[in-house]
Amino acid sequence: QKEVEQNSGPLSVPEGAIASLNCTYSDRVSQSFFWYRQYSGKSPELIMSIYSNGDKEDGRFTAQLNKASQYVSLLIRDSQPSDSATYLCAVNTGNQFYFGTGTSLTVIP
Amino acid sequence: KAGVTQTPRYLIKTRGQQVTLSCSPISGHRSVSWYQQTPGQGLQFLFEYFSETQRNKGNFPGRFSGRQFSNSRSEMNVSTLELGDSALYLCASSLTGRAINEQFFGPGTRLTVL
């Protein structure tokens, strides 16, 4: 079983809609959780970090964490074509970072 | 604050050669991790260095090695290159690499092995 699992997609949403990206992790001692955005041909860029249960909002982005269900999600409100990218979920168990394989998001104008 | 820098950005080598990639972390960051990214495999963890010591290692053959210097700069070396080593090599830095420390990526080195 992989440490971090994501649906590879592709996920397509119309411009202005809410995009919902999901991630599950296997290690219950995982302590911190991150979302990265990666444009084609570029390196991953950190967009959100979350450490405690609940929601964390930053602009159009909301990260949600449920440690009991070992589940973390990212919501992108008012999706824009510029949000089209691959989104990577990452988990730190206290010892090492683990990455999912990413979900490809396309926002259709 | 300057971000993570990697050199060179692009590299073309032939099978059997060796290559050294360099990474300078964000100032003050002491943990440096290396990843290999290919379209089929995603991000694969190579190794992590902290205070000049390899702290974690992924599942890669011994041809892949690294080191970290006292100023936290890190290098990774791949010997006897194979075609399958063609990939984007990413370096990421973190304050300590432990939980709650965010990890930031450099622009990567794209290695092509012919």
Local confidence pLDDT in tens for the 109 residues of chain A: 678 999 878 999 999 999 999 999 998 788 899 999 999 999 999 999 999 999 999 999 999 999 999 999 999 999 999 999 999 999 998 878 899 999 999 999 9
Contact yes or no for A97 and B107 at CB 8 A = no
Length of chain A: 109
* Under 8 Å between Cβ of A23 and A70: no
Average pLDDT, chain B: 94
- A-contacting residues of B 30-59, CB under 8 Å? 33, 35, 42-43, 45, 48, 56
Q: How far is CA A94 from CA A98, A106, B100, B113, in A?
A: 11, 33, 8, 35
More reliable by pLDDT, B78 or B2: B78
- Torsional sign, CA B56, B7, B40, B16: negative
| B36-82 pLDDT per residue, tens | 999 877 899 999 999 999 999 999 999 999 999 999 999 999 999 99
Chain A interface test: which of B91, B102, B110, B112 (most A C-beta within 10 Å): B102
Single-letter amino acid code for the residue at B78: V
- Give the three-state DSSP class for B83: helix
Residue B31: both structure tokens together: 């943990």
CA distance A80 to chain B (A): 24
Contact yes or no for B99 and A92 at CB 8 A = yes
Q: How far is CA A84 from CA A43, A75, A80, B42, in A?
A: 15, 14, 8, 18
Over residues B20-48, mean pLDDT: 93
Chain B hits for A97, CB-CB cut-off 8 Å, are 33, 45, 92, 94, 97, 103
Burial grade of B93 (CB within 10 A; 0-12, 13-18, 19 or more)? buried
Contact yes or no for A46 and B48 at CB 8 A = no
End-to-end CA distance of chain B: 37
pLDDT, residue A9, reads 82
Burial A37-70 (b: 16+ CB within 10 A, else e): bbeeeebbebbbbbeeeeeeeeeebbbbbeeeeb
Contact yes or no for A102 and B42 at CB 8 A = yes
pLDDT, residue A1, reads 66
